[in-house]
């Protein structure tokens, strides 16, 4: 019988996360004065135990037993051989995907939501605020907070709040409170609504609201949590790639190509970072982060210092960015509608270790349907971007007659996104392409900001 799934036992699950900061050099985050930000400046927002992880250069960090205990609800996740997709494409490539849709919220997001909730609980936090795009992060953090008895409040980008009402239902089922962003609950939200009452919202705006809601609690018992971009988030997600390595070793495989969709960078980094170190040490691997062409941070935006949020509450981060005031078009991939890219991912792109790609909305859904009609699984619209690149590379292998091994991350299922599929199947979805003029206008915001150095890690 042909192998379809490669499984690990709970005892084989990795006991440590991989920290890429041990192996790359980075531009430091900067404060309003242009000077590097010290850990103490982050204490109003994050608990100190997570701040320590954020700045750590330790290569391997132990996963607490309490976190491992919650992980075992769904982890280790399966590595799946996409044999039916291979046959449909008539490709000699062997296609594997890490199926992160098996978690309770249906995505990779609990890999960091659970440890963030745990570390906050240990620190004494009673309430966590956050933002969410498509609702996957908000759902994951609500689930994680329910596991550790913490209140959770989620500011959800307005366009996704309207497009995906059942994400709100999921959050509330786990005890979370979800409000559409921009809202009237914060100054940041009110300021945006005053200028743009019909705005679809953005992750940058929602981040500003969540940060403001956290720091305005004078008791100090409310903290903020981020589902992507920051170093400790990338760290927690590496359990994906570490499991995948073990699973591929079991069957004597190693990827030639690694692919993941990328909005803020967390699911992509989770799969890719454990393999990035191999590439830096001489292994020949092509690694592709794939973003929507409507929000092209890596493929068309500059590597700059910029704020992670709309109101400028966060430090300046060295990243590929379209500008913190940028409001992306209302594409149906809310998890990829972020103006910037994780500094660690951006650094690796700037060094040429990662090769970013972009995909249109229609091409992404077309690819997703191919997976659904071959493998049976309905991917999240975000995951469809990775799938589109997988299909392109598999067909290229067919043309070249090469038996390449392709590994990608199925970052989530699309069962809460069927409204988007309805629009695609009825022909009412459209592509959005940013003009050069729009990009140049967005980039004006960086004119008075410091410029990051182009660093080579090795």
Domain boundaries, the chain: 34-58+107-231, 64-106+238-446
Determine the Cα–Cα distance for residues 228 and 341; give it in Å rounded to an integer. Answer: 9
Q: Do residues 138 and 130 lie in contact, with contact meaning Cβ atoms separated by under 8 Å?
A: yes
Determine the Cα–Cα distance for residues 230 and 264; give it in Å rounded to an integer. Answer: 9
Query: Check: CATH 3.40.50.1100 for 64-106+238-446?
Result: yes
Q: What is the mean pLDDT of residues 207-214?
A: 94
Query: Can you give the pLDDT at residue 90?
Result: 98
SS3 at position 95: strand
What residue spans of 128-202 are helical by DSSP H?
A: 136-148, 158-163, 165-173, 187-195
Q: Which residue has the higher pLDDT, 21 or 442?
A: 21
CA angle 66, 132, 329 (to 5 degrees): 150
> Residue 154 forms beta bridges with which residues?
130, 178
Class of domain 34-58+107-231: alpha beta
Q: Is the pLDDT of residue 294 over 70?
A: yes
Checking DSSP bridges between strand 357-359 and strand 286-292, what pairing results, if any? parallel
Convert the pLDDT of each residue in 82-108 to its tens digit.
999 999 999 999 999 999 999 999 999
**C-alpha of 383 from chain center:** 11
Query: Can you give the pLDDT at residue 269?
Result: 98
**Please, which pLDDT band fits residue 1 given cuts at 50, 70 and 90?**
low
Which of 66-70, 171-175, 429-433 has the weakest average pLDDT? 429-433
Determine the Cα–Cα distance for residues 89 and 135; give it in Å rounded to an integer. Answer: 32
**Please, which pLDDT band fits residue 3 given cuts at 50, 70 and 90?**
confident
Q: Is the pLDDT of residue 411 over 90?
A: yes
What mean pLDDT is reported for the chain? 94
Q: What is the mean pLDDT of residues 6-31?
A: 97
Query: Can you give the pLDDT at residue 218?
Result: 83
**3-class secondary structure per residue, 248-314:** HHHCCCCCCEEEEECCCCHHHHHHHHHHHHHHHCCCCCEEEEEEECCCCHHHHCCEEEEECCCCCCC
H and E: helices and strands count for the chain: 18, 15
Determine the Cα–Cα distance for residues 292 and 289; give it in Å rounded to an integer. Answer: 10
Q: What is the largest CA-CA distance in the chain?
A: 64
Q: Is the pLDDT of residue 332 over 70?
A: no
């Amino acid at each position: 019988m042909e192998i379809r799934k490669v499984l690990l036992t709970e005892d084989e699950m990795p006991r440590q996360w991989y920290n890429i900061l041990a192996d790359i050099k980075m531009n430091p985050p900067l404060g309003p004065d242009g000077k590097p930000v010290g850990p103490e400046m982050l204490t109003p927002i994050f608990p100190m135990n997570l701040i320590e992880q954020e700045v750590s250069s330790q290569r391997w960090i132990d996963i607490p037993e309490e976190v491992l205990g919650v992980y075992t609800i769904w982890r280790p996740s399966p590595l799946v051989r996409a044999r039916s997709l291979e046959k449909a494409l008539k490709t000699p490539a062997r296609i594997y995907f890490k199926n992160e849709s098996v978690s309770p919220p249906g995505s990779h997001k609990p890999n960091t939501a659970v440890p963030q909730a745990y570390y906050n609980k240990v620190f004494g936090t009673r309430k966590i605020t956050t933002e969410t795009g498509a609702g996957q992060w908000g759902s994951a953090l609500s689930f994680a907070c329910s596991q550790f008895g913490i209140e959770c409040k989620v500011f959800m980008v307005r366009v996704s709040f309207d497009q995906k009402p059942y994400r709100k239902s999921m959050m509330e089922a786990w005890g979370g409170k979800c409000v559409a962003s921009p809202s009237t609950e914060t100054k940041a939200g009110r300021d945006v609504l005053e200028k743009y009452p019909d705005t679809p919202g953005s992750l940058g705006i929602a981040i500003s609201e969540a940060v403001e809601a956290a720091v305005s609690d004078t008791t100090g018992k409310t903290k903020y949590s981020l589902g992507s971009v920051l170093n400790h988030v990338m760290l927690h997600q590496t359990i994906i790639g570490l499991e995948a390595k073990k699973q591929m070793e079991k069957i004597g495989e190693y990827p030639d190509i690694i692919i993941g969709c990328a909005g803020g960078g967390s699911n992509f980094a989770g799969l890719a970072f454990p393999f990035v170190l191999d590439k830096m040490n001489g292994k020949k691997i092509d690694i592709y982060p794939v973003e929507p062409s409507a929000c092209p941070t890596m493929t068309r935006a500059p590597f700059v210092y910029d704020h992670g949020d709309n109101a400028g509450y966060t430090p300046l981060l060295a990243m590929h960015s379209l500008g913190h005031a940028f409001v992306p078009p209302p594409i149906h991939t809310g998890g990829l509608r972020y103006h910037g890219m994780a500094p660690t991912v951006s650094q690796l792109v700037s060094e040429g270790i990662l090769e970013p790609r972009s995909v249109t909305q229609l091409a992404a859904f077309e690819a997703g349907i191919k997976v659904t009609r071959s493998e049976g699984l309905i991917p999240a619209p975000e995951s469809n971007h990775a799938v589109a690149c997988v299909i392109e590379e598999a067909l290229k292998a067919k043309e070249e007659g090469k038996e390449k091994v392709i590994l990608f991350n199925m970052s989530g299922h699309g069962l809460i996104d069927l409204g988007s599929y309805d629009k695609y199947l009825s022909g009412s979805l459209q592509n959005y392409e940013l003009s050069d003029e729009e990009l140049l206008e967005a980039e004006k915001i960086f004119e008075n900001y410091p410029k990051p150095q182009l660093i080579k890690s090795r």
